[in-house]
């Protein structure tokens, strides 16, 4: 397995840095999202847990995201359509990881700033879920269960939003003036843009291919060592930002992993 990734941090990600304080960073579900069985509509937290989370949110988050979770200015709301557009189809784990590592943002941190215990972050998420009208259940949400619960809207799984980071598996194909990934699977939301995990690469080897085709763009980001010609006809795993256009959909690649030398 050969993974081609960018050696420097993707400059396009720089445009996202302003969102470090607004719960708007790229979160990693990849192919794993397909196997999530429980959703936020199945009672993923308890009322008591959400009550604890409300107190923790008020003390640690409300100053920026507002008491009603409505956000303000560049600081996004943690409820409603904006929240769902950002996080739908992910498991809870990326949301937890982002809050734990990026909140508060670097510019607001001091030497005295200490992370909260993991269970407190989970309680805060429970309160966010309550505010978004996801029903309470009888079993508390724990840090061990985060990958087992999927965030979905009332309409179920939806296509990844425009410009979101996605993952797809298919065949590296030359189209004269461009390269595409053909026989591609439906794109799913992804994290860790510059690498594919062992689990993602392993799943890609046996993934049933699909009927989609995406034009691949911005190979220059992968560095001079990347050669599309060497991968022609191979099964590949692609991560990148999806750009939907009237004529075709394309993916601005952030990593390309050689999964197999043929594309069966």
pLDDT in tens, 111-140: 888 889 999 999 999 999 999 999 999 999
**Contact call for residues 236 and 257 (beta carbons, < 8 A):** yes
Single pTM value for the model: 0.75
Instruction: Write the pLDDT tens digit of every residue in 171-220.
Output: 999 998 999 999 999 999 999 999 999 999 999 999 999 999 999 999 99
Return residue ranges of the chain for CATH 2.40.50: 2-12+159-260
pLDDT > 50? residue 146: yes
Q: What is the mean pLDDT of the chain?
A: 88
Class of residue 122 by CB neighbours under 10 A (exposed 0-12, middle 13-18, buried 19+): buried
H/E stretch holding 5 reads: strand 2-5
Q: Which fold has domain 36-150?
A: Cytochrome Bc1 Complex; Chain D, domain 2 (1.10.760)
- The second-level CATH assignment, the architecture, of 2-12+159-260 is Beta Barrel (2.40)
Listed in order, the ranges of the chain carrying CATH 1.10.760.10 are: 36-150
E-state strands within 175-224? 179-184, 188-189, 212-217
Report pLDDT for 173. Answer: 98
């Amino acid at each position: 397995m050969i993974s081609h990734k960018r050696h420097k941090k993707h400059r396009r990600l720089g445009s996202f840095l302003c969102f470090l304080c607004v719960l708007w960073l790229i979160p990693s579900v990849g192919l794993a999202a397909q196997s999530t069985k429980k959703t936020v509509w199945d009672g993923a937290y308890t009322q008591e847990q959400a009550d604890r989370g409300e107190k923790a949110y008020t003390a640690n988050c409300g100053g920026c995201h507002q008491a009603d979770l409505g956000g303000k200015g560049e600081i996004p709301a943690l409820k409603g359509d904006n929240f769902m557009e950002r996080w739908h189809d992910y498991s809870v784990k990326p949301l937890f990881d982002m809050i734990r590592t990026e909140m508060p943002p670097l510019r607001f941190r001091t030497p005295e700033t200490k992370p909260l215990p993991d269970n407190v972050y989970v309680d805060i998420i429970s309160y966010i879920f309550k505010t978004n009208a996801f029903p309470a259940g009888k079993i508390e949400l724990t840090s061990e269960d985060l990958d087992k619960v999927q965030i979905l809207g009332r309409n179920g799984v939806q296509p990844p939003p425009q410009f979101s980071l996605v993952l797809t598996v298919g065949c590296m194909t030359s189209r004269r003036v461009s390269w595409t990934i053909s026989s591609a699977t439906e794109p799913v939301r992804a994290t860790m843009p510059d690498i594919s995990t062992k689990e993602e690469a392993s799943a890609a080897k046996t993934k049933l291919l699909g009927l989609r085709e995406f034009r691949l763009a911005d190979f220059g980001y992968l560095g001079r060592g990347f050669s599309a010609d060497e991968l022609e006809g191979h099964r590949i795993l692609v991560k990148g930002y999806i750009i939907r256009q009237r004529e075709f959909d394309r993916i601005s690649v952030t990593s390309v992993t050689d999964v197999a030398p043929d594309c069966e």
